[in-house]
Amino acid sequence: MAEVVLFHHAHGLTSGVREFAERLRQAGHTVHTPDLFEGHVFERLEDGAAYAQEVGFGTIVERGRAAASELPSDVFYAGFSLGVLPAQMLAQTRPGARGALLYSACVPVSEFGSAWPDGVPVQVHAMEGDEFFVEEGDLDAARALISSTPTAALFLYPGDHHLFADPSLPTYTPTAATTLLTRTTTFLT
């Protein structure tokens, strides 16, 4: 089975992110969940985003790089929203990456290099009406990625929630989250 590094979103390493990781473990995968916020968990997304901004997005990405440096290079990288930054960076820049799962976010490939690496599959999952994903350019970045990368796929789910796969948040959407988990486990095998 696969080895996965799963990065949390701006709420921090919530019980819902841990639960998602546990579901992947139950499917037979080894899952690492680095804490990019050093123990801080935020009830409100705005507070978590403010914390990330205060710490610095570069520091968040560097914490992700440091956490992955202790692991084998042939892993899958996954991230929820803010966690997409280190996941995408590592998938693009760390030789040996097996693939990437980008949940509720995608940044332009140019952020971490000139092109997506050959042979590294990637999936982007988001809700079609998620204002953060659609209005902040993530949808455009995802479409550009899939148009230039034969091993890329974009999955848009009905609804408008940003973090729909975290069962500890009020935005949790069970039907979409179940489909996302099924697609994730299929991708990892």
The 152-157 sheet, strands edge to edge: 30-32, 3-7, 76-80, 99-103, 122-127, 152-157
Mean pLDDT confidence for 152-180: 97
When comparing pLDDT for 156 and 1, which is higher?
Answer: 156
What pLDDT sits at residue 113?
84
Rounded to whole angstroms, the maximal C-alpha distance in the chain is 39
Percent of the chain with pLDDT over 90: 96
What pLDDT sits at residue 37?
97
Q: Is the pLDDT of residue 1 over 90?
A: no
Q: Is the pLDDT of residue 168 over 90?
A: yes
> What CATH number matches the domain at 3-188, 3.40.50.200, 3.40.50.1820, 3.40.50.2000, 3.55.10.10?
3.40.50.1820
Helix (H, G, I), strand (E, B), or coil: what is residue 79? strand
Only one residue has tokens 């979103």, namely 9
Mean pLDDT confidence for 19-31: 97
pLDDT digits 0-9 by tens, 108-157: 999 998 889 999 999 999 999 999 999 999 999 999 999 999 999 999 99
What pLDDT sits at residue 52?
95
What pLDDT sits at residue 114?
80
Mean pLDDT confidence for 19-40: 96
The Cα-based distances of 177 to 40, 46, 61 in angstroms read 24, 22, 26
What count of residues does the chain have?
Answer: 189
Q: Is the pLDDT of residue 102 over 90?
A: yes
Tell me how far apart the alpha carbons of residues 145 and 123 are, in angstroms, rounded to a whole number: 10
pLDDT band at 18 (very low <50, low <70, confident <90, very high): very high
pLDDT digits 0-9 by tens, 39-77: 999 999 999 999 999 999 999 999 999 999 989 999 999
Average pLDDT, the chain: 96
Q: What's CA 8's distance to the chain center, in Å? A: 7
Tell me the helix, strand and coil percentages in the chain, rounded to 5: 45, 15, 40
